[in-house]
Chains A and B, each alone.
Chain A
């Protein structure tokens, strides 16, 4: 019986012809767009997570504390929200500058004296790098009498995070609109198959076929179109990712510090396929009601 139901669904798909192809293409387009936004969002999310891990707050000191630096670092470590603290002397700061200048490091040699202040590099406690907690940490550091200025925060990371969420919303929004169009097209394709089958359905009812046997092929036809569309979307995304990955990775590493542009996870691919089956099933269900 299962073989019969699947056979009828395949026969119906062939009958729907171009409309079925259009329905599969629309599903592929809608899920392809959702998948593309998902891919971008996932990678931006990975970059944001990496940036959060690397957040540092620099507390610039009024004077070089000299031998008292150790005690000052201990006091900073005891502050709320501080994961670790490290003292950077004036000399170390100058060496870092020279390192950063590279071949032009000799410019720093021409300075009459070291203009760079000593500082304490503060790593926030893991997982608390939100704008609110960072604001509190900056205020506590700024309140210390030895500290002249405090730099650092997560405002730009939060902006990136907002962009990530926006990408997700736009992707889901466009996907939903196209998904709706796909459901309508699948309903049309299935209804066409239904009209082509009306004589068969009449005979089936006449001989005592159950309603499940009559209607299930319509539902299966919708699910098949949805799955096919989702499969096409995943394959196209995979192909585009394979082609663009080597070209985009150096740029992503340079701009976002992201060394690897990942493809969608297995769960995400399964989600897209399930969404395709669901959209197709919905189209088949609407048509099924007309049987």
Chain B
């Protein structure tokens, strides 16, 4: 499902080069749950960005599903991204749209019929426990609700893979627990999940495979 083979990523040129990832290799099967942990600057975000082709590796190969992401043409990127849902530390909700509209927007952009949009959007909101907040605007939500709305938007298109980049970074413990619960439910529904976090406790609590990055190197692959 996901495969990285000797992947390195360097930013900058000349004497100001920064190595974000160095010689990273691992595989994930369909339906697997893995946590990428590491300190801030360890390369977690870069790793995720390589998977949805927001960055291109300097060396190595990246495969996602049937896509050879490394050699993907620009015109093929949308097709790759349709199979991936992404959530960030910041919920990135559109401020002028309600929770429902934020979720439906993604489906409209992808050209789905109106009836299917309504059905899928409400189903996604139900999955994250936000059915009753569908008409609320982002500024009316708590941070935990905003992050769950962001998760609803990511899963509404029913992606095969969910990438979550520090989704609880801005949340207190209770709210973080709610969000992790939702992510775990999404994974139980059959979605492959790769969750990046610097919170060691989370990784342990979920008790799944843990990939540890340190200064861009994959130093541990457990579970």
Question: Which residues of A are at the interface with B, using a C-beta cutoff of 8 A?
Answer: 1, 4, 199-200, 202-211, 213
Pair A208/B92 contact, Cβ less than 8 Å: no
Pair B110/A199 contact, Cβ less than 8 Å: no
Pair A213/B111 contact, Cβ less than 8 Å: yes
- Smallest CB separation, A213 vs chain B (Å): 6
Pair A208/B86 contact, Cβ less than 8 Å: no
* CB within 8 Å for A1 and B81 given contacts A203-B94, A206-B52, A207-B157: no
- Candidates A200, A202, A209; contact of B110 at CB < 8 Å: A209
Pair B111/A1 contact, Cβ less than 8 Å: yes
Residues of B within 8 A of A209 (CB): 78, 109-110
- Candidates B78, B92, B94; contact of A210 at CB < 8 Å: B78
Q: List 10 A-B contacts (CB under 8 A).
A: A1-B108, A199-B95, A203-B106, A204-B109, A207-B85, A207-B109, A208-B78, A209-B78, A209-B109, A213-B111
- B79 at the binding interface (Cβ < 8 Å): yes
- Candidates A4, A199, A206, A211; contact of B81 at CB < 8 Å: A206
Number of B interface residues, CB 8 Å?
Answer: 23
Pair B78/A200 contact, Cβ less than 8 Å: no
Question: Which residues of B are at the interface with A, using a C-beta cutoff of 8 A?
Answer: 52, 75, 77-86, 92, 94-95, 105-106, 108-111, 153, 157
- Smallest CB separation, A243 vs chain B (Å): 44
- Smallest CB separation, A52 vs chain B (Å): 59
Residues of A within 8 A of B94 (CB): 199-200, 203
Residues of A within 8 A of B81 (CB): 205-208
Question: Complex Cα distance A203/B153, Å?
Answer: 10
- Residue among A4, A208, A213 with max Cβ neighbours from chain B (10 Å): A208
Residue in chain A with minimal CB distance to B52: A206
Question: Complex Cα distance A207/B153, Å?
Answer: 9
Residues of B within 8 A of A1 (CB): 108, 111
- Smallest CB separation, A202 vs chain B (Å): 7
Residue in chain A with minimal CB distance to B81: A208
Residues of B within 8 A of A210 (CB): 78
* CB within 8 Å for A208 and B111 given contacts A199-B94, A203-B94: no
Pair A207/B106 contact, Cβ less than 8 Å: yes
Residues of A within 8 A of B110 (CB): 207-209
Residues of A within 8 A of B95 (CB): 199
Residues of A within 8 A of B78 (CB): 205, 208-211
Residue in chain B with minimal CB distance to A210: B78
* Additional 4 contacts, C-beta under 8 A, given A206-B81, A207-B106: A207-B85, A208-B77, A208-B82, A208-B110
Residues of A within 8 A of B79 (CB): 208
- Smallest CB separation, B163 vs chain A (Å): 10
Residues of A within 8 A of B85 (CB): 207
Pair B108/A208 contact, Cβ less than 8 Å: no
Residues of B within 8 A of A203 (CB): 92, 94, 105-106, 153
Question: Complex Cα distance A210/B108, Å?
Answer: 12
Pair A213/B109 contact, Cβ less than 8 Å: yes
Question: Complex Cα distance A277/B83, Å?
Answer: 38
Question: Complex Cα distance A200/B52, Å?
Answer: 18
Question: Complex Cα distance A207/B86, Å?
Answer: 8
Pair B108/A207 contact, Cβ less than 8 Å: no
Pair A206/B86 contact, Cβ less than 8 Å: yes
Residues of B within 8 A of A211 (CB): 75, 78
**What are the 4 tightest A-B residue pairs by CB atom distance, in nearest-first order?**
A208-B81, A208-B82, A208-B78, A209-B109
Question: Complex Cα distance A33/B79, Å?
Answer: 48
- Smallest CB separation, A195 vs chain B (Å): 14
Question: Complex Cα distance A199/B82, Å?
Answer: 18
Question: Complex Cα distance A248/B186, Å?
Answer: 77
Residue in chain A with minimal CB distance to B86: A206
Residue in chain A with minimal CB distance to B88: A206
Pair B92/A202 contact, Cβ less than 8 Å: yes
Residues of B within 8 A of A213 (CB): 109, 111
Question: Complex Cα distance A242/B90, Å?
Answer: 60
Residue in chain A with minimal CB distance to B111: A1
- Smallest CB separation, A6 vs chain B (Å): 12
